[in-house]
Chain A
Amino acid sequence: MMMDSKKRKWLLLGGLIACLLLVPMFVTDIYILSILNVMVVYSILCLGLNLILGFTGLLSLGHAAFYGIGAYTTAILMTRYDFGFVAAFCASAVLALVAGIVIAIPTRKVRGDYFCLITLAFGEIFRLVATSWIEFTRGAMGIVRIPMPKIFGIAIVTEAHFYYLGLGILIVTYLTIKAITDTRYGRAFIAIREDELAADTMGINTPIYKIMAFSIGCLFAGMAGSFLAVYQTVVTPSNFRLEESCLMIIMVIVGGMGRNLLAPLAGVIVMTVATEVFRSTAEYRMLIIGLIMILVLLLRPQGIFGSSSFKS
């Protein structure tokens, strides 16, 4: 019986992936494909953030900074040092991971709300430095003319190509995070979220697990950033404002945090579609985001498809 339900889950997942792979065969509209690509980027980000926020209960308000580190790494390596996309992509992921570790190690024992403040301050520092350090990042003008990526000789040019590339990264992200969270690591993360002191007492090495969850989440943010750089062909500091970090948090919360890895992706879909629908009323954008934030947390804190809410 156990095996059966597991098998069914894998079959479902395989079917879902197959469907996603077939999408560009039926959807040729560039506009819809571009929205799908935006969703793919946010999905990668939110899967990583779910590991940090949904599993381990660390509220990171600096996720956009790691996303930005990935994007700027790829942009600078490809425009100035003639790196290929694959090498730049790997460098972005590694650099975001290292940055995550650098932030996570000193903060491993910091209280929850102070952790939130530190990540918030880090995110702001990243954005301000990216704006002010004009010789290196070209400031607010951003880095432009990032070349089209080539992967093992195949040039990525059209929206559909980018969709396949992004989907590939997303699937790798999903499977990696699923593999991590299905083991005792995932249970340790949840134990930390529910009660850090109790987890510590039960013999879970909480600092190590917190560093792990945070830096792995950042690694995937770096990958998403790298993809964004080649997809947009331009990277500016305004891509990585606090608003972005908040939007990711909202996506994870609206979808549902924790065990069900597909739930945050539902949040991504809901929020991206909402943003597109309300595009004509862009001046109300933050009002809508803010209201959704408040209403979801007041009425349904576990999210639309959330399995486990934060405990009382």
Chain B
Amino acid sequence: MLGEVILVGIMVGAVYALVTVGYSMVYGILKLMNFAHGDIYIFGTLICLTLLTKYNLHPVLAILIAAIAGGGLAFLVELLVYRRLRAAQHRLISMITALGAAYVIQNISELNWGNQVMSFPSIVKSKFITLVGLQISVTHIITLFVAVLCIAVLILFMRYSRYGKAIDCVSQDMDAASLMGIPINRVVSSVYFMGGMLGVIGGVLYSSAYNAVSLGMGFRGTLIAFTAAVIGGIGSLGGALLGGMILGLSENLIGVYISSSYRDPLMYSLLIIMLLVKPTGILGSSDQAKV
């Protein structure tokens, strides 16, 4: 039993890591809490649902289109809303605007799909195999595999491509990066696009593993991304992975062994404690206020 719970926890953790990475990268660059993150990936997930059930598209193609739609929406929100507030204003103003954007996206999704829980088709035929004495669902293994693959590609992209390095530069010092000739707007847009895409992939994997999707998962997803990012170290890629993993594991252990209705309150308590005790997270570096 424990073995299975841990395995499912790792699978959920990998998916959470995918969702968190996108959010954490945005924070790393703009220091903006993107409240719309969860609603954007649910929007993409719902598009995938429509493509799968209504148009019977091949799952890989459906995920790809949905991911691009989610990335496009994130890009659009940045372009229309966040960009105008980036330069001068008080930080609170862009945060509240992000909340407004979250509401708008959530409402649009609700108008299209309603806010009830919908069943999400399994992307692969769910079969169980026995591996070292554990009953493991194939869906879970594939979910884990896809999530790890996406993260690996992202890490390679960030480390070895010119674009990845440019993103790193912008998050370290936006003004200096701009003076060095890095096109800030394009880099920021691409980070939003990537974040939205990865989020949608995470959302689709999660929904197909649990065979359900609902609008409420959007805001919960935003909070999960916040919590995981803070636990691991906000703004850092490795931190997002670690945080997602810790959250996925502890959530499953709490849900099975303590109480499923107190799972979320305990998760949010973890967030509060972490913010109070070590706001820089496990892998984050401390940053001092500059005068």
- Measured CB to CB, the residues of A under 8 A from B are 53, 57, 59, 106-107, 110-114, 116-118, 120-122, 124-125, 128-129, 132, 197, 242, 246, 249, 253, 283-287, 289-294, 297-298, 301, 310-312
Contact = CB atoms under 8 A, between A and B. Distances in A.
Given A124-B268, A297-B100, A286 B95 contact: no
Nearest to A115: B275
B57 interface: no
A-side interface mostly: helix
A291 B265 contact: no
B104 A290 contact: yes
A107 B276 CA distance: 7
B96 A297 contact: yes
Contacts of A114: 230, 275, 279
B124 interface: no
Given A110-B275, A124-B223, A301 B93 contact: yes
A68 to B, nearest CB: 14
Contacts, number: 126
A283 B90 CA distance: 32
B84 interface: yes
Contacts of A122: 268, 272
Q: Which of B95, B101, B108, B268 has the most CB of A within 10 A?
A: B268
Contacts of A301: 89, 93
B265 A294 contact: no
A290 B219 contact: no
Say which size band chain B's interface belongs to. 35 or more
Interface string B58-102: 000000000000000000000001001100111111011101111
A284 B268 CA distance: 29
A13 B230 CA distance: 47
Interface of B: 31, 33, 81, 84-85, 88-93, 95-97, 99-104, 106-108, 110-111, 219, 223, 226-227, 230, 261-262, 264-265, 268-269, 271-272, 275-276, 279, 289, 291
B265 A113 contact: no
Contact of B223 (A57, A107, A118, A121): A121
A117 B103 contact: no
A113 B33 contact: yes
Q: Which of B88, B89, B103 has the most CB of A within 10 A?
A: B103
B91 A112 contact: yes
B107 A310 contact: no
A132 B103 contact: no
Nearest to B277: A106
Contacts of A290: 99-104, 106-107
B275 A129 contact: no
A192 to B, nearest CB: 13
A286 B107 contact: yes
B97 A117 contact: no
A197 B88 contact: no
Q: Which of A53, A125, A283 has the most CB of B within 10 A?
A: A125
B262 A59 contact: no
A59 B96 contact: yes
Nearest to A126: B265
B101 A294 contact: yes
B268 A125 contact: yes
Contacts of B265: 124-125, 128-129, 132
Contacts of A121: 223, 227, 268-269, 271-272
Given A124-B268, A132-B261, A294 B89 contact: no
Contacts of A285: 107
